[in-house]
């Protein structure tokens, strides 16, 4: 049973309920529509929170495994409650704003960062017909995602600037430069998939890959370059090692969030893990068939599509974590060089190849 | 905006330290940046100054040994060794062969521990956190050995004028063999993880480069100098203690940059393992202590004793007026000289390279400030 | 039905009023704000509001492009410039309305254009949430098609303008070979505390 069917069932039930109370059908339909938006918006935030809760624990355990140590063990069985303890700790911390900081900007920085991250979730196709903003996605899903993604750095910039700290400012500048640069190869990789699927809709891209694992984009040879480009620029967009220069701990102390504690810091943290999940989700949608089962469509195992989507995303998240705990950090100029001298030309090559493939009719 | 300003950019002055994660203690660097380029880097030291040299004038030779541990706290055995060697030379004391072997063993183990910590710090400063924990895992093996023999993990207070605090405990030699075997198999792993990593090489090659002439003029020593292509290792140059009888290579790299300094230490890890194994194999039996009066008075005179510490030429200058306390003492602390050309090393490089440069000179702020 | 109008109309008005109000607020904030950085953020609000208006008109492509180009790129660029200038020099740049007369004239001209546009267009009434039937639910294809056929020349001319500005930026920012800012200004730097 897909999310879409469940939604329809709940809607019909509510309309029946309201009709029983004497509410006009027209009004109840409208109320339910508004309610759906609200629930959808809440789901986006909840997805980020769940992602953060799971990934904080996962990251600690994975890094512990990689670094031959245990990771959290004390809170709950095998430390499973560690994330909750972290959240409580952050909630209880005093909120400190530096004396010379811009109080308003300092506050809205993390909020903007999280809001933008949550906004991108509205076009994620969780399941067949399971997109929060299906209408937006049907028209311009990929473009909307990219557009919203490009605003993510505003939160970083505002937070870094509002802290009135030179390290934070350097971090913010680095973050802005990095995210602007890596957006280009990311978009080029996205364009290849869009050309392949002939639609801007993320749900449509999944539909295009319908079938078993053989039909997925990552098995098409002309998609290999976009796969690599998207993964690298995705990691760069979410500021994780080896591209974590905006918050490089050993250089910039912590970059744009040096001056943040408590819940404001937690908002940055939430958004970072939310972005991690988002990149993994989008990668799964673009190249790994989204909510499709690897055994064919319809799924012979009859599992909800969201499970397949999350399983694929988890795989990507684990790869990203593995990379993080293995590689050193690039320097800022090398990072820019990689983007502008290597990845953007490679992106154009990938796009050219994709066009050639379409012209030759292989796609 | 006046005419002179057109086309130029304003500079940003930032304080790096004293509370900064990668200044290896309490170093403060007043950084002038143009964008992220270092225009000048002015090290400001003294935050850990504790009058080590003046304190020596008030303590007798035995009491001061525990102080020597505390300046270069990563090479405590070497500090003790150079101090007791200086006192013994002034007093004309000859130690037993077993004692000399154990002292050398301790110094080399300490070099291993120090270089391992360097490896980890270099990793963490360039963003590779995992190698840091791997190195600490192996450093733990050596610290366990130290703890077993001296009861301490960092500040050993193990050497005595004329001998040692105690002989090696039973089973220690076997444990040491096992630790060396474990370490030898893992050094290659660090190289795969860090030294051969493309990103790491890109971060360190050509960064903080200095020529041999300049390095000598600045008073570089140890792995920093050997990274400039100068085969200057006191273990060979002076040939003190048992080193002339041991088979090891003086590791030299040509580049003079961060990567060369890193590779020197990487190779020295292997050489030190080799030395430790040789010493363990030829460790003689017998006493470790020679009788020394409780209140040791040495003849008036002065002495400069130097050894190769993990950081370079560690010198101890001692003047005696015939009493039981030094009349004046001075440390030639290698970190101080290795830190001196920081501005020269960093100028024109990126801010992020500062971190790599500081890590590659492997300074200990206790050693710099004393 | 409430007072003779479908309920959806009220929602639509509510949504329009809030988004339009937000846009106006943003625009007002941009010109009223004393300091440049908050003014930039108000501009962001204003541009975001415009994107919301496009969304209400079911112009999803325009909305996405508005966010991508104006909110995501242009504002960031402005913020970047302000940030680099301000914090590095330590001066706070105030937003002074120096060009008041010119500004009023330009704004008046724009307002006239827009008002003329508003009052001369013939509108097709649409139900709330519907996409215009002529776009057949996919105005991306239509716009793409028009850009590459009917409006190909203007489209390419615009890209030439972009290329020219890019080259101009490169020329301005380029350093002569061997001109290392760090090394060149090093002697000065030493005299600083």
Q: Which of A154, A179, A198, A199 to mutate to test the interface with C (most CBs of C within 10 A)?
A: A154
Q: Give C-chain residues touching A135 at CB under 8 angstroms.
A: 60, 129
CB of B34 within 8 Å of a chain C CB? The answer is: yes
CB of B32 within 8 Å of a chain A CB? The answer is: no
CA distance A115 to chain C (A): 13
Full residue range of the structural domain in which residue B287 is found:
49-369
Q: Give A-chain residues touching C7 at CB under 8 angstroms.
A: 26-27, 30
Do C92 and C142 fall into the same domain? no
Full residue range of the structural domain in which residue C83 is found:
1-96
List all residues 6 or more positions away from A326 whose beta carbon is below 8 Å from its beta carbon.
Answer: A66, B128, B130, B193
Distance of CA B256 to the CA centre of its chain: 18
* pLDDT digit string, tens, across residues A219-259: 888 888 899 999 999 888 888 878 887 777 777 777 777 88
List all residues 6 or more positions away from A2 whose beta carbon is below 8 Å from its beta carbon.
Answer: A127, A128, A129, A130, A304, A305
Residue A104 maps to a domain: yes
Q: Give B-chain residues touching A334 at CB under 8 angstroms.
A: 199, 202-203
Which long-range CB contacts under 8 A does C167-172 form with residues at least 24 apart? Answer: none
Q: Which of B41, B127, B351 to mutate to test the interface with A (most CBs of A within 10 A)?
A: B127
> For the ranges B105-119, B243-257, C89-103, which has the lowest average pLDDT?
C89-103
Q: Which of A331, A341, A342 to mutate to test the interface with B (most CBs of B within 10 A)?
A: A331
Does position B1 have pLDDT exceeding 70, yes or no? no
Query: Which chains does chain A touch, 3 or more C-beta pairs < 8 A?
Result: B, C
Q: What are phi and psi of B171, to 5 degrees?
A: 85, -10
Across the interface, of A139, A150, A158, the residue whose CB is closest to C68 is A150
How sure is the predictor about C189, in pLDDT bands with cuts at 50, 70 and 90? Answer: very low
Do C81 and C146 fall into the same domain? no
CB of C8 within 8 Å of a chain B CB? The answer is: no
- How many independent structural domains does chain B possess? 1
Q: How far apart (Å, rounded) are the C-alpha atoms in residues A146 and A191?
A: 11
CB of B351 within 8 Å of a chain C CB? The answer is: no
What is the DSSP secondary structure assignment for residue A166, as one 8-state letter? H
CATH number at residue B293: 1.10.645.10
Confidence at residue C188, expressed as pLDDT on a 0 to 100 scale: 37
Secondary structure (3-state) at A121? helix
Residues C47-71 have a mean pLDDT of 83
Q: How far apart (Å, rounded) are the C-alpha atoms in residues A106 and A96?
A: 10
CA distance B260 to chain A (A): 18
Q: Give A-chain residues touching C1 at CB under 8 angstroms.
A: 24, 26
List all residues 6 or more positions away from B183 whose beta carbon is below 8 Å from its beta carbon.
Answer: B112, B138, B141, B142, B269, B273
List all residues 6 or more positions away from A24 whose beta carbon is below 8 Å from its beta carbon.
Answer: C1
Q: How far apart (Å, rounded) are the C-alpha atoms in residues A159 and A107?
A: 7
Secondary structure (3-state) at A19? helix
Does position C136 have pLDDT exceeding 80, yes or no? no
Does position C91 have pLDDT exceeding 60, yes or no? no
Q: Which two tokens stand for residue B234?
A: 């006191």
Cβ of A167 and B14 within 8 Å? yes
> For the ranges B62-76, B349-363, C121-135, which has the lowest average pLDDT?
C121-135
Q: Give B-chain residues touching A326 at CB under 8 angstroms.
A: 128, 130, 193
Residues C30-52 have a mean pLDDT of 84
Answer positive or negative: Cα dihedral of A331, A333, A334, A336.
positive
Full residue range of the structural domain in which residue A247 is found:
94-360
CB pairs under 8 A between A and C: 86
Residue B29 maps to a domain: no
CB of B15 within 8 Å of a chain C CB? The answer is: no
How sure is the predictor about B143, in pLDDT bands with cuts at 50, 70 and 90? Answer: very high
* pLDDT digit string, tens, across residues A125-141: 888 777 777 666 777 78
Confidence at residue C147, expressed as pLDDT on a 0 to 100 scale: 84
Confidence at residue C178, expressed as pLDDT on a 0 to 100 scale: 53
Q: Which of C182, C183, C193 to mutate to test the interface with B (most CBs of B within 10 A)?
A: C182
CB of C180 within 8 Å of a chain B CB? The answer is: yes
Q: Which of A248, A223, A236, A228 is nearest to A276 (CA)?
A: A236
CB of B21 within 8 Å of a chain A CB? The answer is: yes
CB of A341 within 8 Å of a chain B CB? The answer is: no
Residues C147-168 have a mean pLDDT of 87
- How many independent structural domains does chain A possess? 1
Q: How far apart (Å, rounded) are the C-alpha atoms in residues B133 and B131?
A: 5
Confidence at residue B4, expressed as pLDDT on a 0 to 100 scale: 44
Residue A248 maps to a domain: yes
A143-147, A282-286, B286-290, C87-91 — most confident range: A282-286
CATH number at residue C73: 1.20.120.1200
CA distance A279 to chain B (A): 22
- How many independent structural domains does chain C possess? 2
Provide the 10 A C-beta neighbour count for residue A323.
16
CB of C138 within 8 Å of a chain A CB? The answer is: yes
Does position B55 have pLDDT exceeding 60, yes or no? yes
Confidence at residue A363, expressed as pLDDT on a 0 to 100 scale: 66
CB of B197 within 8 Å of a chain A CB? The answer is: yes
CA distance B133 to chain C (A): 36
* pLDDT digit string, tens, across residues A135-184: 667 777 888 888 888 788 888 888 888 888 888 888 888 888 888 888 88
- Tell me the C-alpha to C-alpha distance, in Å, between residue B289 and each of B69, B98, B161, B280, C39: 20, 9, 9, 19, 78
Q: Give C-chain residues touching B34 at CB under 8 angstroms.
A: 181-182, 185
Interface of A with C in 88-107 (CB under 8 A): 102, 104-105
Secondary structure (3-state) at A146? helix
CB pairs under 8 A between B and C: 38
Confidence at residue A2, expressed as pLDDT on a 0 to 100 scale: 65
Q: Which residue from B minimizes the CA distance to A69?
A: B133
Residue C39 maps to a domain: yes
Using CB atoms within 10 Å of the CB of residue A297, give its burial: 0 to 12 exposed, 13 to 18 middle, 19+ buried. middle
Provide the 10 A C-beta neighbour count for residue B174.
10
Cβ of C140 and A140 within 8 Å? yes
Residue B5 maps to a domain: no
CB of B125 within 8 Å of a chain A CB? The answer is: yes
CA distance C78 to chain B (A): 17
Residues B116-140 have a mean pLDDT of 88
Per-position DSSP letters for B129-195, written without gaps between them: HHHHHHHHHHHHHHHHHHHHHHS-SS----EETTEESSPPPTTHHHHHHHHHHHHHHHHHHHIIIII
Do C88 and C163 fall into the same domain? no
* pLDDT digit string, tens, across residues B190-204: 888 888 888 888 888
Residue B271 maps to a domain: yes
Across the interface, of A241, A253, A333, the residue whose CB is closest to B127 is A241
Do C80 and C155 fall into the same domain? no
Confidence at residue C95, expressed as pLDDT on a 0 to 100 scale: 62
Residue C52 maps to a domain: yes
Q: Give B-chain residues touching A69 at CB under 8 angstroms.
A: 133
Residue A261 maps to a domain: yes
β-bridge mates for residue C178, sequence order: none
Residue A7 maps to a domain: no
What is the ipTM for the molecules in this complex?
0.80
Q: Which two tokens stand for residue A94?
A: 């005093």
CB of B136 within 8 Å of a chain A CB? The answer is: no
Q: Which two tokens stand for residue C54?
A: 């496009």
Confidence at residue A258, expressed as pLDDT on a 0 to 100 scale: 80
**What string of pLDDT tens digits covers the 363 residues of chain A?**
566 777 778 878 888 887 788 777 777 777 887 888 888 888 888 888 888 888 988 888 898 888 888 888 888 888 888 888 888 888 888 888 888 777 888 888 888 888 888 888 888 888 877 777 766 677 778 888 888 887 888 888 888 888 888 888 888 888 888 888 888 898 899 888 888 888 888 888 888 888 777 778 888 888 888 999 999 998 888 888 788 877 777 777 777 778 888 888 888 888 888 888 999 999 998 888 888 888 877 777 777 888 888 899 999 999 999 988 888 888 888 888 888 899 999 999 999 998 898 888 776
């Amino acid at each position: 049973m897909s999310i879409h069917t469940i939604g329809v069932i709940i809607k019909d039930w509510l309309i029946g309920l309201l009709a029983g109370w004497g509410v006009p059908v027209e009004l109840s339909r409208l109320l339910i529509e508004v309610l759906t938006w609200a629930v959808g918006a809440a789901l986006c935030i909840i997805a980020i929170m769940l992602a953060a809760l799971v990934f904080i624990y996962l990251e600690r355990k994975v890094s512990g495994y990689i670094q031959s140590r245990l990771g959290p063990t004390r809170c709950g069985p095998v430390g499973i409650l560690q994330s909750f303890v972290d959240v409580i700790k952050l909630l209880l911390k005093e909120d400190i704003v530096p004396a010379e900081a811009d109080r308003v900007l300092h506050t809205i920085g993390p909020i903007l960062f999280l809001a933008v991250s949550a906004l991108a979730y509205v076009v994620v196709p969780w399941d067949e017909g399971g997109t929060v903003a299906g209408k937006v996605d049907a028209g311009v899903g990929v473009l909307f995602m990219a557009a919203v993604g490009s605003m993510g750095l505003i939160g970083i910039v505002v937070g870094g600037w509002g802290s009135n700290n030179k390290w934070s400012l350097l971090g913010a500048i680095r973050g802005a430069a990095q995210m602007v640069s890596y957006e280009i190869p990311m978009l080029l990789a996205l364009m290849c998939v869009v050309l392949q699927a002939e639609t801007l809709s993320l749900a449509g891209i999944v539909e295009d890959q319908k079938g078993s694992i053989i039909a997925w984009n990552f098995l098409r040879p002309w998609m290999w370059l976009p796969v690599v480009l998207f993964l690298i620029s995705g990691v760069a967009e979410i500021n994780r090692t080896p591209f974590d220069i905006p918050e490089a701990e050993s250089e910039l102390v912590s970059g744009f969030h040096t001056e943040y504690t408590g819940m404001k810091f937690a908002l940055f943290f939430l958004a970072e893990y939310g972005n991690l999940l988002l990149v993994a989700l989008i990668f799964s949608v673009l190249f790994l068939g989204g909510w499709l089962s690897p055994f064919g469509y319809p799924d012979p195992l009859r599992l909800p599509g969201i499970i397949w989507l999350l399983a694929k995303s988890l795989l990507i998240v684990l790869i990203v974590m593995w990379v993080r705990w293995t590689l050193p950090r690039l320097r800022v100029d090398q990072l820019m060089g990689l983007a502008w001298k290597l990845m953007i030309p490679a992106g154009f090559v990938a796009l050219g190849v994709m066009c050639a493939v379409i012209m030759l009719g292989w796609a | 905006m006046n005419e002179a300003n057109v086309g130029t950019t304003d500079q940003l002055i930032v304080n790096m330290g004293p509370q900064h994660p990668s200044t290896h203690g309490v170093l403060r660097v007043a950084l002038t940046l143009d964008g992220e380029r270092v225009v000048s880097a002015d090290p400001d030291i003294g935050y850990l100054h504790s009058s080590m040299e003046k304190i020596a004038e008030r303590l007798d030779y035995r009491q001061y040994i525990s102080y020597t541990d505390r300046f270069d706290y990563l090479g405590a055995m070497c500090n003790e060794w150079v101090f007791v060697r200086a006192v013994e030379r002034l007093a004309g004391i000859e130690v037993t062969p077993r004692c000399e072997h154990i002292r050398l063993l301790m110094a080399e183990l300490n070099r291993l521990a120090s270089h391992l910590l360097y490896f980890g710090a270099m990793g963490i400063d360039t963003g590779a956190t995992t190698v840091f924990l791997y190195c600490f895992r192996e450093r733990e093996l050596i610290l366990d050995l130290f703890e077993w023999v001296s009861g301490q993990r960092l500040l050993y207070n193990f050497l005595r004028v004329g001998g040692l605090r105690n002989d090696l405990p039973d089973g220690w030699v076997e444990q040491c063999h096992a630790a060396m075997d474990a370490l030898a198999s893992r050094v290659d792993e660090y190289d795969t993880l860090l030294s051969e990593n493309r990103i790491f090489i890109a971060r360190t090659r050509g960064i903080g480069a200095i020529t041999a002439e300049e390095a000598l003029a600045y008073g570089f020593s140890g792995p920093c100098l050997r990274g400039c292509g100068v085969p200057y290792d006191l273990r060979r140059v002076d040939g003190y203690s048992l080193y002339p009888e041991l088979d090891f290579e003086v590791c030299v790299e040509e580049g003079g940059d961060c990567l060369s300094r890193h590779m020197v230490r990487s190779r020295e890890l292997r050489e030190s393992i080799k030395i430790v194994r040789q010493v363990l194999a030829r460790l003689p039996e017998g006493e470790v202590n020679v009788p020394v009066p409780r209140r040791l008075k040495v003849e008036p005179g002065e002495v400069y004793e130097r050894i190769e510490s993990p950081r370079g030429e560690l010198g101890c200058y001692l003047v005696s007026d015939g009493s039981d306390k030094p009349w004046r003492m001075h440390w030639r602390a290698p970190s101080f000289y290795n830190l001196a050309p920081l501005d020269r090393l960093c100028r024109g490089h990126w801010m992020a390279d500062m971190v790599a440069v500081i890590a590659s000179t492997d300074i200990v702020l206790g050693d710099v400030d004393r | 039905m409430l007072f003779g109008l479908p309920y959806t109309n009220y929602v639509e008005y509510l949504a329009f009023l809030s988004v339009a109000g937000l846009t106006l607020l943003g625009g007002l904030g941009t010109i009223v704000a004393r300091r440049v950085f908050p003014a930039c953020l108000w501009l962001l609000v204003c541009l975001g509001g415009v994107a919301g208006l496009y969304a209400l008109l079911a112009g999803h492509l325009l909305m996405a492009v508005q966010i991508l180009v104006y909110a995501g790129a242009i504002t960031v660029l402005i913020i970047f410039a302000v940030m680099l200038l301000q914090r590095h020099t330590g001066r706070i740049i105030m937003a002074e309305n120096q060009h008041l007369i010119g500004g009023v004239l330009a704004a008046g001209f724009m307002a006239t254009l827009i008002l003329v546009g508003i009052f001369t267009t013939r509108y097709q009434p649409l139900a709330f949430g519907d996409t215009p039937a002529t776009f057949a639910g996919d105005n991306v294809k239509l716009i793409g098609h028009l850009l590459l056929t009917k409006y190909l020349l203007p489209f390419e001319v615009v890209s030439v303008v972009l290329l020219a500005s890019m080259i101009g930026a490169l020329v301005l920012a380029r350093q002569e070979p061997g001109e290392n800012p760090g090394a060149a200004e090093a002697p000065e730097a030493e005299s600083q505390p």
